Amino acid sequence: MKMSEGVEWGLHCCLALAWLGDDTAVPTATLASAFDVPPHYLNKFLQALVRADILASSAGVKGGFRLAKRPEKITLLDVVTAIEGPEASFRCTEIRRRGAGVTARPSEFAMPCGIAIAMGRADAAWRRELAAQTVADLVKAAPPAGAERMRCWYAPRAR
Amino acid sequence: MKMSEGVEWGLHCCLALAWLGDDTAVPTATLASAFDVPPHYLNKFLQALVRADILASSAGVKGGFRLAKRPEKITLLDVVTAIEGPEASFRCTEIRRRGAGVTARPSEFAMPCGIAIAMGRADAAWRRELAAQTVADLVKAAPPAGAERMRCWYAPRAR
């Protein structure tokens, strides 16, 4: 089970945009260059973040991406869900009803499968932990030198 | 992000083997038939569970799979790790060091990336929850009719 690299890229882009501030719209090519990742592939994830109302995009010469809301309003769960989708990592396909299960009374399956419930508890714990952390927390946890360096790196690239 | 169906299959096989008891070794074909899943593909997951010391396999006419230890000693994390591997779902590829990061002082990267730490907290919460639940808990949570039905289904197939 492995997340796409888009989660790492997306979170780093959100952190970089939080560092650069509300007034800065950064094009895909510049963000891709900041992390040395392929622009076309990164853009796919940036568009997913726009659809999830995490980033706002603007067109034109000075266009690009910025955070669509304050960093404390964007949870890690928001970003992960935008990139990976809302589905739980464990998907119950109800194999209990197949094979030996085909002769069971329907009442036996009135309750959800206990295995799905148990796996769902772990998924819920994961989501709770992701929902409890925001992009603002990432800003706080990052070394101040990182923010400063990103701003210096960006300055000559601003349009 | 999606687990392989092997996790669902493996957990159901563990539950079925717990129901059938220590004295019963069940061949792959019978387990596959109990859940109407492809035997060859199921066998791949059963072998992974043997390598993880969750199942024991025996050869011969009366051979097959049984639990290698008591159901309360097998956690859901054991089964998930056996099937999916031990890696965390989020993998940090240190993109902070690339692009804008290549000019940073090494001291800036002395601490692990805050994004990896934050994602690791969620992974740890997920693992804690999986480790806190055992196959014995699945037995307790399942409807008694399920165990009885599995034993009746198996009886004429025992060798």
Please state the separation of Cα A130 from the chain's center in Å. 10
- Decide: B65 and B17 in contact? Cβ < 8 Å: yes
- Decide: B115 and A27 in contact? Cβ < 8 Å: no
Range of the domain at B79: 5-157
- Provide the number of structural domains found in chain A: 1
Q: Where residue A141 falls among pLDDT bands split at 50, 70, 90?
A: very high
Maximum pairwise Cα distance, chain B = 71
Please report the pLDDT score of residue A42 as a whole number.
97
Reference A101, options B27, B5, B140, B35; nearest CA is B35
CATH number at residue B113: 1.10.10.10
Residues of A (51-90) whose Cβ lies below 8 Å from B:
76, 84, 87, 89-90
Q: Where residue B141 falls among pLDDT bands split at 50, 70, 90?
A: very high
Shortest distance between the Cα of B124 and any Cα of chain A, in A, equals 8
Q: Which residues of A touch B124 (CB under 8 A)?
A: 129
Cα–Cα distance measured from residue A15 to residue A28, given in angstroms and rounded to the nearest whole number: 15
Residue B101 has pLDDT above 80, yes or no: yes
Average pLDDT of chain A is 94
Please report the pLDDT score of residue A86 as a whole number.
93
Residue B130 has pLDDT above 80, yes or no: yes
A5, A80, A97, A126, best to mutate vs chain B, most B CBs in 10 Å:
A126
B119, B138, B139, B140, best to mutate vs chain A, most A CBs in 10 Å:
B119
Is residue B147 less than 8 Å (CB to CB) from chain A? no
pTM tops 0.90 = yes
pLDDT tens digits along B7-52? 999 999 999 999 999 889 999 999 999 999 999 999 999 999 999 9
Please report the pLDDT score of residue A159 as a whole number.
74
pLDDT tens digits along B114-128? 999 999 999 999 999
Task: Find the closest chain A residue to B92 by CA distance.
Answer: A8
Cα–Cα distance measured from residue B104 to residue B111, given in angstroms and rounded to the nearest whole number: 13
Please report the pLDDT score of residue B124 as a whole number.
97
Residue B1 has pLDDT above 80, yes or no: no
- Decide: B30 and B63 in contact? Cβ < 8 Å: no
Tokens at B139, concatenated = 């037995």
Q: H or E segment at B67?
A: strand B64-67
Please report the pLDDT score of residue B13 as a whole number.
98
pLDDT tens digits along A52-88? 999 999 998 889 999 999 999 999 999 999 999 999 9
Residue A107 has pLDDT above 90, yes or no: no
Shortest distance between the Cα of B135 and any Cα of chain A, in A, equals 9
